[in-house]
Amino acid sequence: MSSLQAATALLEQSLRTRRTLLGRTRTGVTRESLARLSQTPAAQTSEISNPKSEMPRSARLVALNEAVRACRQCENLAASRTQTVFGTGNPQADLMFVGEAPGADEDKQGEPFVGRAGELLTRIIGAMGLSRGDVYIANVLKCRPDMEPGAPGNRPPAILEMQRCLPYLREQIAIIQPRVLVALGKTAMTGLTGADQSMSTLRGRWLTFENIPLLPTYHPSYLLRNGSNVEKRKVWEDMMLVMEKLGMPISEKQRGFFLSAS
Ligand code: URA
């Protein structure tokens, strides 16, 4: 295939994805239709995840990112965002982390988990013997939730915002086909699966999402607020479950992380 043919195929794929995910019109979207959409398996919502597609995962992600960048389903978020924040990492990753939404730092830089919580997530990934380039990191919501002008901090995404955005994440997962998913925090879990239980109930137990093992754990921001070794150990035990599931070796040193109470 010539580079011109490849570029044309990519553009056509991007347009098909945009039509499929956004619909032909941008009005008339009801809560019910979005709920239905969010329950539709990715493989039915888009041709981009067609297993027969010969396009490499990276090209399919580029096409999907184009659709995300053009999305204006949440007018308020489209108007307030600096840019959409699609995801980062290895398109062939075995392990994919899912957070809730970009904050101010991510909105500025266009990459998920680059603020303080992101630095901690990067350290957790490092403790597993991996780097950010080995895994894939994305959020349920691809835009920063808008704030009153001058208001400090970030707000959690609304359910409707996550329902509108979820088909993009489903599609990312369908393209990447990770062997394990980790949901970071209750909001991400609710956005991904609709689960409403507390994270203390959910964490550390395997669930599935589209037949992929899914492990909920605390969001790194929680550990920044409550940095006791007891809470850090819980997240670390969850990460060891992930490593076991992926068949990764765990050293004695790793097994001992955060065992002291302070
Ligand atoms: N928190 C999230 O859930 N996602 C980010 O990208 C950053 C912080």
Give percent above pLDDT 90 in the chain: 76
* CA-85 nearest atom, ligand 1: 6
Cα 4 to averaged position of ligand 1 atoms, centre (Å) = 37
- Structure token digits, residue 156: 């959690």
- Of 18-32, 79-93, 111-125, 195-209, the one with minimum mean pLDDT is 18-32
Q: What is the DSSP letter of 28?
A: -
Beta strand 95-99 pairing with 212-217: unpaired
Across residues 199-224, what is the average pLDDT? 98
- Please report the pLDDT score of residue 43 as a whole number: 39
Q: What pLDDT, in 10s, does the model give residues 3-20?
A: 434 444 544 555 455 455
Cα 139 to averaged position of ligand 1 atoms, centre (Å) = 7
Cα 83 to averaged position of ligand 1 atoms, centre (Å) = 15
Across residues 206-234, what is the average pLDDT? 97
* CA-106 nearest atom, ligand 1: 6
- Who has greater pLDDT, 153 or 97? 97
CA atoms within 13 A on the CB side of 59: 13
Which amino acid is located at 215 in the chain? L
- Any residues with Cβ below 6 Å from ligand 1, and which? 99-103, 106, 112-113, 115, 117-118, 139
User: Which residues are CB-neighbours of 116 under 8 A, at least 6 positions away?
Assistant: 221, 224
User: Which residues are CB-neighbours of 150 under 8 A, at least 6 positions away?
Assistant: none
Give the residue, out of 83, 111, 113, 143, with the most ligand 1 atoms within 8 A of its beta carbon, to mutate for a pocket test: 113
- Of 85-89, 145-149, 178-182, 197-201, the one with minimum mean pLDDT is 145-149
Q: Which residues is 183 bridged to in the sheet?
A: 98, 216
Q: How many C-beta neighbours within 10 Å does residue 117 have?
A: 23
CA distances to 15, 20, 74, 92, 202 from 89, in Å: 24, 25, 26, 9, 26
**What CATH superfamily is the domain 3-255?**
Uracil-DNA glycosylase-like domain (3.40.470.10)
Nearest protein CA to atom 8 of ligand 1, as residue: 113
Q: Which residues is 89 bridged to in the sheet?
A: 136
- Please report the pLDDT score of residue 90 as a whole number: 98
Which amino acid is located at 146 in the chain? D
Q: What pLDDT, in 10s, does the model give residues 136-179?
A: 999 999 999 999 988 999 999 999 999 999 999 999 999 999 99
Residue 64's H or E segment, with its range, is helix 57-70
* pLDDT of 186 higher than 80: yes
- Please report the pLDDT score of residue 13 as a whole number: 56
Q: Which residues is 184 bridged to in the sheet?
A: 217
Cα 64 to averaged position of ligand 1 atoms, centre (Å) = 20
* pLDDT of 247 higher than 50: yes
Domain boundaries, given as residue ranges, for the chain: 3-255
Give the residue, out of 82, 106, 144, with the most ligand 1 atoms within 8 A of its beta carbon, to mutate for a pocket test: 106
Cα 72 to averaged position of ligand 1 atoms, centre (Å) = 21
Give the residue, out of 221, 223, 225, with the most ligand 1 atoms within 8 A of its beta carbon, to mutate for a pocket test: 221
Cα 101 to averaged position of ligand 1 atoms, centre (Å) = 5
Q: How many residues are given for the chain?
A: 262
* CA-112 nearest atom, ligand 1: 6
Give the residue among 247, 241, 96, 236 at the shortest CA–CA distance from 180: 96
Q: Is 97 helix (H, G, I), strand (E, B) or coil?
A: strand
What pTM value is reported for the model? 0.84
Across residues 81-100, what is the average pLDDT? 98
Q: What is the DSSP letter of 167?
A: H
Cα 116 to averaged position of ligand 1 atoms, centre (Å) = 9
Which amino acid is located at 67 in the chain? A
Cα 252 to averaged position of ligand 1 atoms, centre (Å) = 31
Q: What pLDDT, in 10s, does the model give residues 24-63?
A: 333 233 344 334 434 544 434 444 445 445 689 999 999 9
